[in-house]
Structure 1
Amino acid sequence: MSLSEHNRSRLLQAIEQHEFGHAREYLLNSAKQTVSLEIAEPENYRTIGSSRVAGEPDLPEKAPWPSDAQGEPMTFVLQLKLDELQGLDPENRLPEKGNLFFFAGYYDSEIEHRVLYASPEEMRTAARRSAPAPTVHEKDDGPFRSYGLNARASLDLPGYGYLDEEAIENEERGWEEYEDLIFELEEEKASPIVKMFGYAEGQHGDDEYMAALKLFGCESTYDPNEAIERLTQAFGGDRERAEREVSDMVMLAEIDSDQSVGFLWGDAGVLHYFIRGEDLLQGSFERTYCSFYSS
Structure 2
Amino acid sequence: MDHHNQFRRAAIDRGIPDDEIDEFTDHLRFAIHLGSAGDGEQVVGQRGGLPRLPVGAEWPSDGSGSPLPFVASVDCAVLPRVGGLPLPEDGSLLFFLHHENDLLAPLGTDVPEFARVVYVPAGAETAVASPPPGHDSTTPFHEDIPFLTPERPLSASVQPELPEWIEDDEYDFEESDQVIEEQLLGELEHVDDLCELVDELWPESDRGLVVNLGGYCSEIGGQNDPWTQMAHIGITSRLDDSDFPGSERFQPGEVEKYRLTREWVTLAQFPTDSEVHYGCFLISRDDLADKRFDRTLSFTMFTE
Q: Same fold (TM over 0.5)?
A: yes
C-alpha separation in 1, matches of 2:157 and 2:209 = 10
Distance of 2:280 and 2:50 partners within structure 1: 20
Which ranges in structure 1 are unaligned for 5 or more consecutive residues? 43-48, 218-223, 230-241, 258-262
Residue 269 (structure 2) pairs with residue 254 (structure 1): yes
8 Å CA contact 1:265, 1:292 repeated in 2: no
Match among 50, 69, 80 for residue 75 of structure 1: 69
Higher mean C-alpha displacement, 279-288 vs 54-63: 54-63
Alignment of 1:20-169 (within 5 A): 24-41=21-38, 51-85=45-79, 87-91=80-84, 93-107=86-100, 108=103, 110=105, 112-122=114-124, 124-134=125-135, 137=141, 140-142=144-146, 143-160=148-165, 164-168=181-185
How far is the alpha carbon of 1:153 from its aligned partner? 1.9
Structure 2 residue 298 is the aligned partner of structure 1 residue 290: yes
* Structure 2 unaligned spans of 5+: 106-111, 166-172, 237-250
Counterpart selection for 1:276 from 270, 284, 289: 284
Distance 1:63 1:191, change over 3 A: same
Give how far 1:125 is off.
2.9
- Give the C-alpha shift of residue 226 in structure 1: 5.7
SS at match of 1:29: helix
Q: TM-score, normalized by length of structure 2?
A: 0.67
Q: Is the Cα contact below 8 Å between 2:75 and 2:92 reproduced in 1?
A: yes
TM-score, with normalisation over the residues of structure 1? 0.68
Shift of the 270–63 alpha-carbon distance from structure 1 to 2, 3 Å rule, reads same
Q: Distance in 1 between matches of 2:23 and 2:284?
A: 24
Q: 2:64, 2:254 → 1: CA distance?
A: 30
Question: Relative to 1, partners in 2 of residues 1:167 and 1:227: Cα closer, same or farther, differing over 3 Å?
Answer: closer
The code of the aligned residue for 1:207 comes to: P
- Flag the 1:4–1:246 CA change in 2: closer, same or farther, 3 A: closer
1:102 partner letter: F
Residue identity opposite 2:290 in structure 1: Q
| Percent of pairs with identical residues | 22
- Measured on the aligned residues, the alpha-carbon RMSD in Å equals 4.2
Aligned pairs, how many? 257
Deviation of 1:56 after TM superposition, in Å, equals 1.2
